[in-house]
């Protein structure tokens, strides 16, 4: 594996950070951009000024807008494209892939039309998920590219593929854990973006730390409820893909979802907020998908429901907070797992 060709698909902030990390870790990754001008900028200047200006991109990274050049012969593909583009990119890359190529997916989202998780989209395309690994956890690109200590998790149906991903990515400042719970890791990484939008809105409204802590904690409760209903291990949500990613996304200004929420809380429309962030805000699409999933599985998700009304039905955020606070009395533990008696 030391000399194995590794390709990163997606030259946004996360893809660029992963390529920089791999290069610092002694690899020589290829980096695919769907924009030829961006690939040329990285090649000529060693910088990605639009998506990750703080990163100095090593010369051992080979940028290219030619998908075949990047994918052909690669033993490992790291996907860092927006979740809604995963299917399209994989369909294009499939004809260039080796039969034994392992795909490590770093996108966090749920298809809002089919309600499929990324692993389910992968299975649609390839007929199996054995060579699929999901990468998640609290890992802002802006900090990974600078070598700040980070811990993440990889999950796969195949323990060997998870171990391979761990070996490829692990370094002195990038610690990688394995987890067999693909469903839980995917859901935790996706649903936390909804809660981050909510905490951002609370910040934009001028609310304080108490409000943020309440949203994070109760947000984790509803993420876990849906996850358990869909077959996840509840302990996954106490780990890096659950509470870890939730904390960092809800509290950091690196978070696109939080930043968009802040602008909405300050009175901007959804369109204006998204334009101000200038990058994909995954939580918007995920809110639509999670709303449908909650209805499908009969799971109560009050924060997600209020976020849906604010984003898509024009509800005033102040009224949404009032409705959350005015809900009926609940038992904290049984509201997560009604069948759990302690």
Number of H helices, E strands in the chain: 15, 8
Q: What does each C-alpha distance from 167 to 22, 101, 138, 161, 328 come to in angstroms?
A: 11, 15, 19, 10, 49
212 in catalytic set: no
Q: What residues does 296 pair with on adjacent strands?
A: none
Of these residues, 5, 108, 192, 212, which one is catalytic?
Answer: 192
**Could you tell me whether strands 76-79 and 62-64 are parallel, antiparallel, or unpaired per DSSP bridges?**
unpaired
Residues noted as catalytic:
192
């Amino acid at each position: 594996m030391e000399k194995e060709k590794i390709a990163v698909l997606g030259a946004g902030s996360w893809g660029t950070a992963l390529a920089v990390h791999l290069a610092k870790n002694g690899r020589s990754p290829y980096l695919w951009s769907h924009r030829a001008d961006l690939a040329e900028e990285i090649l000529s200047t060693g910088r990605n000024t639009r998506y990750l200006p703080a990163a100095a991109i090593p010369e051992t990274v080979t940028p290219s807008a030619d998908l075949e050049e990047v994918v052909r012969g690669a033993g490992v593909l790291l996907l860092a494209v927006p979740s809604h583009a995963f299917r399209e990119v994989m369909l294009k890359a499939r004809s260039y892939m080796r039969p034994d190529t392992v795909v490590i997916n770093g996108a966090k989202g749920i298809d809002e039309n089919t309600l499929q998780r990324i692993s389910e989209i992968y299975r649609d395309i390839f007929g199996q998920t054995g060579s699929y690994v999901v990468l998640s956890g609290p890992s802002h690109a802006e900090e990974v590219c600078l070598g700040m200590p980070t811990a993440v998790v990889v999950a796969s149906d195949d323990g060997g593929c998870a171990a391979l991903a761990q070996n490829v990515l692990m370094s002195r400042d990038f610690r990688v854990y394995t987890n067999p719970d693909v469903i839980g890791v995917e859901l935790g990484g996706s649903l936390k973006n909804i809660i981050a939008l909510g905490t951002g809105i609370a910040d934009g409204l001028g609310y304080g730390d108490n409000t943020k802590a309440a949203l994070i904690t109760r947000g984790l409760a509803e993420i876990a409820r849906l996850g358990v209903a869909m077959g996840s291990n509840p302990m996954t949500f106490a780990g890096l893909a659950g509470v870890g990613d939730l904390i960092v996304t809800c509290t950091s200004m690196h978070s696109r979802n939080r930043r968009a929420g802040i602008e909405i809380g300050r009175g901007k429309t959804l369109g204006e907020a998204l334009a101000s962030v200038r990058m994909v805000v995954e939580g918007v699409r995920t809110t639509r998908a999670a709303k449908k999933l909650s209805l499908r599985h009969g799971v109560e998700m009050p924060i997600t429901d209020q976020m849906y009304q604010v984003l898509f039905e024009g509800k005033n955020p102040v009224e949404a907070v009032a409705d959350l606070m005015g809900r009926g009395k609940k038992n904290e533990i049984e509201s997560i797992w009604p069948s759990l008696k302690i």
